[in-house]
Structure 1
Amino acid sequence: MYNVLLVDDEDLDLEALRRFIPWDQLNMRVVSALNSAVSAAKYIDQAELDVLVTDIRMPQMSGLELAKLAQERNKSIRIVFISGYEDFTYAKQALSLNACSYILKPVNDDEVYEALTKVKEMLDHEQSRKQTERAYMEIVQARSTDRKPPLSDVKQTLADYDKKQNKKNPKLAQEIIAYIHAHIHEVITLRNAANAFSYTPNYLGLMFREETGVAFTDYVIQARLLKAQELLTDTNLKIYEIADKVGYRNLNYFSKQFKDSFGISPLEFRRQS
């Protein structure tokens, strides 16, 4: 179950939150309900929490300050703010802390339940993602080798790829491939792609190679060069313009990689096509 901390300096509001929300249905449990942000800050230092539900205006320390401390302790904690003040400044600060919800008093139980349902969905998704990542890493590490396929093998794999991807690749691998082609004119790194899909670079790289048989970096290179072939054949763009359109800022480097892959220079390829 997900651990929830409730904080409100109004005892009646605090008790209502604790008693009238069906926490079990949300797979959540209230591990503590405190009427002081200062006490809550001390509690956060020693507790493992998933959700913080806090009032904003409290003596000595505000709920905003408390939330910031909680995030420093645990970046993945989900925060729901409750406030008796419809103040744009508070709402703006809450947004800056990536709050999941901002609920105005008097609190409506249905509104709180709806907000917490969304929090639960976010936590479930994150938990599932982490479990999948761990399991996949274990499988891949058990099966992986250090052998890197030669570039000629990569080229052959890519030549047949469009015919095979719908049959062999899971949705995530297809989405990564779509991402590469959509950003073919930009700098593409494994880290950037991993950030875009909310995975670690190590996991994303291993998963991509396991599903496609091609290392991520090798796929990016060949995707760029195959796009260059297409532009050399179908357009009158100058070679340096084509290099730029497929993500190369250095013409000599582009020409070298093209020849290494296909055995001829871009100019020779254009003359033959």
Structure 2
Amino acid sequence: MNVGAIKKINIRRISMYNVMLADDEILDLRGLERFIPWEELQMNVAAVVNNGLAALEYMKTNIIHILITDIRMPIMSGLEMSREALLLNPQLKIIFISGYEDFQYAQQAMQLNAQSYVLKPIDDEEIIQALYKVKAQLDQETQRSMLENAYHKTLPAIKNDLLLQLYEGQLDWNTNAIMLTEQYGIKLSKCELAVAYIAIDDLAWKLNTYKEHEAKDIVNRVYQVIDQHCRQHDIYTLCKLSAHQFAMIVESNHQHTQLLNDLIRDIATTLPITITIGLGNAFSSFEQVQASYQQALQALDLKMLIGKSIVIRYGDMEIKHVKEVQHWEMALDALFVEMSNYHLVQIHDELEHLFTLIRSMKSKVTVYNFSIQIISKLDAYLANVNEDLFQMPGMQLEDLHIIFKFETIDDIKTWLCKKVFEISELLHLKKQKKNNRLIESIVIYVEEHLHENIVLRDVSNYFSFSPNHFGVLFKQGTGINFSDYVVERRMEKARCLLQDHQYKIYEIGARVGYKNQTNFSRQFKDHFGVTPGDYRKQS
């Protein structure tokens, strides 16, 4: 989104403006009510009254946009009533009507900011023009009000977008820095600052026991708790990176480190979920924000190694730990690729590699934590291919508790290997089933279009595949190239038709997609060893 300007907003005008007619002369009231083209003016006569008190009583509980009133009325004059009405609705538009050509009345009407002053007997054209003028004013005010409301509603989204650009090093300082610093009050303090990267833990599996709307509510409440802490400590840099990841700038001192620990504790005690925070190195200028943000993200990656629901400072990280996390991430990615391709030997090798890394861990808790992380990463990977880990047979959420009952790494390895092979086989079977349905559809398509010019590119487009991928899928499913298959089906159909003497040979060639008789004869002879004519004689 270009935050340098608010997007154009579609403004809808109020469908009808409410009008009140106030006059103690019934004939004048009825004339106004009946002979003015209210619908054409997009106006609605909402109330007709014959005194000021009744008019005010109605306006206390109903919205009136335009008041047309006689100046002289019993009990309360139109001028007195208008003063009171403007207190109820300062945006009220007033048109005065009077039978007295008295400058004093006109002067008082203008002091009340009347939109028009019409003399009796009323000229229809004159009052219609006055109403058009009032309508134009109301349209303009409505549009301005809706624009202002829309602008204020977009301010939080604009702020979040600016902060995201700031953290990722993409902020255009020439156009947006002033808005960030002045509009939102985001300024660097004299203290050193650091970026805190906040992530909800175990989101891939921890909320699976909740209904979808309940899970969303819990995630939203996490953000609300974080936002409340920020407001209490005058932190204006909270940015929503995704539904479950957030970033903010905090002072790099003991007090704000304690703030982050308090935040972790509050969420853990009030919600069925936890958060972990990565904290980047300190900086003193906006140009250094991106570096601290990246450091905070790298610190958060160490959650796999040293645990969750804590603050992990980038400055406390060891290079060895960073490399270990990178190795584990690469090993997991490689495992998932082999699972997807159903390469059993490679799956075994990747699991061996993973557990070689796990054996280097010195803490029992870390081993358990890493094992859970493997499940969590696997769930996220499967979600990308439209699969749900915990909807698979024998893989319910409750099964995860068994990991904490194992006493050795070998026990965990045996259980995890079994699950990985089962999931890989299930993915393979689903893929085969899906491919079988595709092959069946392709076969039907070819049979129905043998008389046409069948080209791989056109058929692959029809089934929404790239030509290369389509060709590979077809070869895997049938053991034959697509073009060879088409020729095979054409020759078989031609052979059957040649046994029926009602068709001429050139007609048969056309029926199986050959417009050129010579090409058909040559292809048939290459396939069966005889020309179509000789084959017909033999049969």
TM tier relative to shorter chain: 0.5 to 0.7
Which residue of structure 2 lines up, in the alignment, with residue 54 of structure 1?
A: 69
Within a 5 Å distance, the mapping from 1:72-221 to structure 2 comes to 72-144=87-159, 157=174, 210=179, 215=182
User: How far apart are the structure 1 equivalents of 2:125 and 2:23?
Assistant: 19
- Aligned-residue offset at 1:42: 1.5
Which residue of 36, 49, 60 maps to 1:21? 36
What percentage of residue pairs aligned between the two structures are identical? 46
User: How far apart are the structure 2 equivalents of 1:19 and 1:29?
Assistant: 12
Q: How many residues align?
A: 161
1:9 aligned onto 2:24: yes
Letter in 2 for 1:98: N
User: How far apart are the structure 2 equivalents of 1:36 and 1:29?
Assistant: 20
Which residue of 30, 52, 55 maps to 1:37? 52
Deviations 1:149-203 (A, max 9, x none): 9xxxxxx95xxx9xxxxxx9xxxxxxxxxxxxxxxxxxxxxxxxxxxxxxxxxxx
Q: Which has the larger radius of gyration?
A: 2
- Aligned-residue offset at 1:144: 1.1
User: How far apart are the structure 1 equivalents of 2:106 and 2:159?
Assistant: 49
User: How far apart are the structure 2 equivalents of 1:124 and 1:70?
Assistant: 21
Structure 2 segments unaligned to the other structure (5+ residues): 1-15, 167-172, 186-539
- Aligned-residue offset at 1:215: 3.5
Match of 1:65, SS state, is helix
User: How far apart are the structure 2 equivalents of 1:32 and 1:99?
Assistant: 19
User: How far apart are the structure 2 equivalents of 1:214 and 1:126?
Assistant: 30
User: How far apart are the structure 2 equivalents of 1:57 and 1:214?
Assistant: 57
Match of 2:83, SS state, is helix
Deviations 1:97-126 (A, max 9, x none): 100000000100000000000000000001
Could you say if the C-alpha distance between residues 214 and 111 of structure 1 is closer, same or farther in structure 2, counting changes exceeding 3 Å? farther
- Aligned-residue offset at 1:214: 7.2
Letter in 1 for 2:122: V
Match of 1:23, SS state, is coil
Match of 1:107, SS state, is coil
Structure 1 segments unaligned to the other structure (5+ residues): 150-155, 162-167, 169-208, 219-273
Which residue of structure 1 lines up, in the alignment, with residue 384 of structure 2?
A: none
Deviations 1:55-74 (A, max 9, x none): 00111100001111110000
Match of 1:99, SS state, is coil
User: How far apart are the structure 1 equivalents of 2:181 and 2:108?
Assistant: 45
User: How far apart are the structure 2 equivalents of 1:45 and 1:100?
Assistant: 22
1:67 aligned onto 2:97: no
Letter in 1 for 2:138: L
Letter in 2 for 1:116: L
Which residue of structure 1 lines up, in the alignment, with residue 256 of structure 2?
A: none
Give me the CA root mean square deviation.
2.6
Q: Which runs of 4+ in 1 moved over 4 A?
A: none
Match of 1:46, SS state, is coil
Match of 2:39, SS state, is helix
User: How far apart are the structure 1 equivalents of 2:106 and 2:79?
Assistant: 10
The TM-score with structure 1 as length reference comes to 0.54
Letter in 2 for 1:100: Q
User: How far apart are the structure 2 equivalents of 1:70 and 1:80?
Assistant: 13
Letter in 1 for 2:85: A
User: How far apart are the structure 1 equivalents of 2:144 and 2:134?
Assistant: 15
- Bigger mean CA offset, 130-139 vs 48-57: 130-139
User: How far apart are the structure 2 equivalents of 1:103 and 1:4?
Assistant: 16
- Aligned-residue offset at 1:26: 1.1
User: How far apart are the structure 2 equivalents of 1:7 and 1:111?
Assistant: 18
Letter in 1 for 2:141: E
Match of 1:69, SS state, is helix
The TM-score with structure 2 as length reference comes to 0.28
